[in-house]
Amino acid sequence: MYKQKLFDLEKLRECFEAIEPELIRFPALNPDVLKNRIEEFIQRCDSTSEENP
């Protein structure tokens, strides 16, 4: 989806930050793990896009 430009990385980060306080409502989700995975995904995509402009 990212490669198809259906969303951008900054918007992904903003959307996660918007829902992060509400994640307490979902005990099966660990907010810290989810945040780390999203940040790692963003970093991988950033480094890939820098290599292939």
The pLDDT of residue 53 is above 60: no
Whole-structure pTM over 0.85, yes or no? no
The residues, ordered by sequence, that sit 6+ positions from 52 with a Cβ below 8 Å of its Cβ are none
At 11 the pLDDT is 93
Domain presence at residue 1: no
Q: Hey, is 26 helix, strand or coil? A: coil
Show the domain range for 33: 9-51
What pLDDT score does 35 carry? 96
| Span 18-46, pLDDT tens digits | 999 999 999 999 999 999 999 999 999 88
> How confident is the model over 15-20, as a mean pLDDT?
96
Domain assignment of residue 37, yes or no = yes
For the chain, how many structural domains are there in total? 1
Question: With 70 as the cut, is the pLDDT of residue 49 above it?
Answer: no
Look at residue 17 and tell me if it is in a domain.
yes
Residue 16 lies in a domain: yes
